[in-house]
Each structure stands twice: as structure tokens, then as C-alpha cells.
Amino acid sequence: MQNAIPLINLNNVFSVSDASALLKNVVETAFPRIKIRGELSQITRATSGHIYMTIKDSGAAISVIVWRGTPIAFKLEEGMEVVLTGRFTTYPARSNYQIIASEIELAGIGAILKMLEERKQKLAREGLFDESRKKPLPRLPQTIGVVTSPTGAAFQDIQNRLRERFPVKVLLYPATVQGVTAAAEVAAGIEYFNKMNNVDVIIVARGGGSLEDLLPFSEEIVVRAAAASHIPLISGVGHEPDWMLIDFAADYRAPTPTGAAEAVVPTRLALLQELDNLWVRLSGNFTTRLINAKQRIEAINIKSPKQVLMEHQQRLDDLGRTMNIIVGAKIANLHQRIEALSALPNILQNRMTVLNQTISHLGQMLGSLSYKSVLARGYAIVRDKDNKIISRADAGEPAIIEFADGVKVL
């Protein structure tokens, strides 16, 4: 193996800036375009709009710059495995090399499905897919809003199926359905119809395509717009096996754009059949009511005025007998109360006699128990000057002596 030929004269002396410029030129010339597969990390979005990050594998890491305005079809996230296309360059101020990215793609179907599943779980935790948020579709919408590409087959399929089934007014919000700006345009279409409130139902549609082509309909901005719509929304994206995250946030998921048109309006034949059924039920119900009314009329017996008068007289007789019974009972009750009141003086007299006897007896008991009766038998009560009873000879000088007939002060 031959030794590499130096690109410079080994005897030349360069300034730092010249050496850095020389190295920058060599690197950019040798790697005008390169594709690198790896895992994203350290993603930083500067206020200028540029994105700075690192792409790495188990053995190395390289700095990456994504200039503002570079088209990227999905949101860059930590740990995402991608294939990055760009060119190598150097940054002399820090003596490092880096890649200026021009394209970024997800690395394979597995990486895309992993990203979608993680995003689905995140949005589900926020409640955006809850069944309680789903709104019923209108039975017969007057105006339908469609968010899709005006030149795509999806819009033509929807119009054709609507004309076949039940022609209605259709308003189109043109939006690209693939590429960098697709998600923002679809979300803007949903928000437009909700702001204008000029349609009864919204269809978001796109024909089939690869998983990468359908990714805009799984972007958060689209899913959140669908979940926030106060107008019922139908998702008709892709073909039968395709499931995008907008399908979980929509009020109804159609397998195809044509299926979305079928879900939003019935067929004319079905409506005619429904009208026939209603007419049969209505006429049958009306006939039944007429028969019942006729039977009730036939059951009515026409009475003569004399018979009606006699029936009223009978009712008056019944009322008179009832009133006599009620009045007689009340009079008898009053007689009983009067007789009870006439016996009241004798009852009171007897009560007074008993009370007088009781009082006399109590007076006799009080007299027998009084100390006055003891004094009448020759006893006396001796008190001191404080009017306290003296019961002992050595208790003090007597000051008052009470006899049966009076008090003597010493």
C-alpha cells in the first residue's frame, strides 16, 4: 500500500484561520452528499428557527444542523431512528465537524410504527380518543365540508358517491395531503370550517399510499384539531387496513373516502323505503284510532230529558238523606256535650268539699307539729342577744325568753 500524497507543502507555515479554511474545503469537497443512519439526541430548537442536534450509534456521535426552512415531514424527537441526508462541513470557531442536513427520513417501517404507538399512547392519556367525546353524525346534512386535495381522486370519489346517493351542497377546503406542509394545511381546514360554522359535517379525506405518505394525518396538530372540532368529523384516510391517529380522534372512521360519503348521507332508495314504512305505520295507527273512536261513539246511549231530570232528582234525594244523617249526628253530639256541661256545678261542689276537708286536716297536722303546742305545756325557748337558741347552761347569757303567750326581753 502506497503512502498518501500530502495535499500541501510540508514546509509551508499556515495561520490558524488558513489551516481551518483549508480543512473545511477538504471536508466539504470530499463529502458533498452523504447519508447517515442513527439515533437522534440532544435536540435543541433555537429562537432563530434552526435545529441543533446529534446523530449517534453505539460507537460515535456527529453534530447536526437543520437550517430553518428545511422541509421535514414529521416532528423530530429524542431517540428517533432516522436516515439523514446532508453534507459534511467544519465549524472553525470550535474546531469540530458537523453535518448540514437537507433531508431526514424515518429509518424503516418499524421506527415509524414505534413512533406512532408512542404518540397514540400520549394523546390517549390526554383523553383525545375517549368515546365520550364522540358526536353523532347528522341524519340529513344540508352542507358537507371536505378537507382534501382538489386534484386528488379522493375528492372526486366523494362527489360521485354523494351524487349517486343523496346530492347535497359540498364545500372544499383545498389542502395538500402529502409532504411537509400537509399536516398544517389539514389542521387549518378543520379549524376554518369550525370558525365559519358553515357546514353540518366535515370529511377529512385522502386516498391510499405508503405509511410514510399518510404520516401527516397522524401529526399532533391534525389529531388535536380533529378532537377539538365542535362539528361532527369523519376520517376517510387511506384504504381499509390503513389506520392513522386522526381515525381515533374523529367522530367516525370510514375505511375509504368513498366510505366517508356513504356514512354521511343515506341512499335515495333507503329514504324512500323509510318513508313508505313511516306511511304504513302512520296510516295503520290512524285507522286504529278511527275504529276505536267509532266504537266509543256507538257505545254512547242517548238519554231522554225526562230520564236525565229523574237521575238528577235521585242524586238530590241521595244528597238530602246524607245531609240528614250528618246533621242528626252533629245535633246528638251537641246534646251530649250540653248534658255534660249541666253536671259541671255538682262536680265542682264535690271537688271544693274534698279540698276543704284536705285543708282542715293539714291545718290540724300543722298545729300538732308546731313548737307552739310545746310552749303551751309550760316550756319556754331561751335565745341570746343574736336571737340564737340557747340549749346549754354554759352557752351564754340569756337575752330573750319566749313563752306560749309572748316574749320577755331580759
Q: What is the pLDDT of residues 357-382, one digit of tens each?
A: 888 888 777 777 777 777 777 777 88
Say yes or no: 214 and 263 in one domain: yes
DSSP 3-state of 213: coil
Give the integer Cα–Cα distance in Å for 79 and 42: 9
The chain-wide mean pLDDT, for the chain, equals: 83
Cα-atom radius of gyration of the chain, to the nearest Å? 55
Say yes or no: 74 and 180 in one domain: no
Task: Please state the domain count of the chain.
Answer: 3
In a domain, 206, yes or no: yes
Pairing outcome for strands 143-148 and 201-206: parallel
Question: How much is the pLDDT for 1?
Answer: 45
Q: 16-35: per-residue pLDDT in tens?
A: 887 778 778 877 777 788 88
In a domain, 33, yes or no: yes
In a domain, 260, yes or no: yes
Tell me which of 147-156, 170-179, 400-409 is least confident: 400-409
Say yes or no: 152 and 94 in one domain: no
Say yes or no: 173 and 96 in one domain: no
Q: 302-353: per-residue pLDDT in tens?
A: 666 777 777 777 788 788 788 888 888 888 888 888 777 777 777 778 888 8
Give the integer Cα–Cα distance in Å for 268 and 209: 32
Q: Give me the percent of the chain exceeding a pLDDT of 90.
A: 29
Say yes or no: 173 and 257 in one domain: yes
Q: Where residue 183 falls among pLDDT bands split at 50, 70, 90?
A: very high
Q: Write the DSSP assignment of 71-133 as a string of letters.
A: --SS---TT-EEEEEEEEEEETTTTEEEEEEEEEEESHHHHHHHHHHHHHHHHHHTTTT-GGG
Question: How much is the pLDDT for 328?
Answer: 81
DSSP 3-state of 64: strand
Q: Where residue 4 falls among pLDDT bands split at 50, 70, 90?
A: low
In a domain, 356, yes or no: no
Say yes or no: 147 and 50 in one domain: no
User: At a CB cut-off of 8 Å and minimum separation 6, what does 185 contact?
Assistant: 175, 176
Indicate if the pLDDT at residue 2 is higher than 70: no
Higher pLDDT, 284 or 145: 145
Q: Domain holding 255: CATH number?
A: 3.40.50.261
Question: How much is the pLDDT for 77?
Answer: 81
Question: How much is the pLDDT for 300?
Answer: 65
Q: Where residue 246 falls among pLDDT bands split at 50, 70, 90?
A: very high
Say yes or no: 101 and 151 in one domain: no
**Is-above-0.85 flag for pTM?**
no
Higher pLDDT, 222 or 78: 222
In a domain, 275, yes or no: no
Say yes or no: 262 and 153 in one domain: yes
Please give the distance of CA 6 from its chain centroid, rounded to a whole number. Answer: 73
Q: Which three cell numbers stand for residue 135?
A: 358526536
Q: 79-132: per-residue pLDDT in tens?
A: 788 888 998 888 887 778 889 998 888 776 667 777 888 889 999 999 999 999
In a domain, 32, yes or no: yes
Say yes or no: 102 and 154 in one domain: no
Domain boundary among 243, 268, 293: 268
Say yes or no: 159 and 91 in one domain: no
Q: Where residue 271 falls among pLDDT bands split at 50, 70, 90?
A: low
User: With the C-alpha atoms ordered 22, 55, 215, 219, is the resulting torsion angle positive or negative?
Assistant: negative
In a domain, 327, yes or no: no
Q: Which three cell numbers stand for residue 276?
A: 313508505
Say yes or no: 231 and 150 in one domain: yes
In a domain, 305, yes or no: no
Say yes or no: 148 and 263 in one domain: yes
Q: Domain holding 59: CATH number?
A: 2.40.50.140
Question: How much is the pLDDT for 5?
Answer: 57
Domain boundary among 251, 268, 285: 268
Full domain range(s) for residue 43: 16-106
Please give the distance of CA 72 from its chain centroid, rounded to a whole number. Answer: 36
Indicate if the pLDDT at residue 7 is higher than 70: no
Query: Which region, left, alpha or beta, applies to residue 213 given φ > 0 means left and ψ of -120 to 50 means alpha?
Result: alpha
Dmax over CA atoms of the chain, in Å, equals: 164
The DSSP code for 209 is -
CB 81 within 8 A of CB 21: no
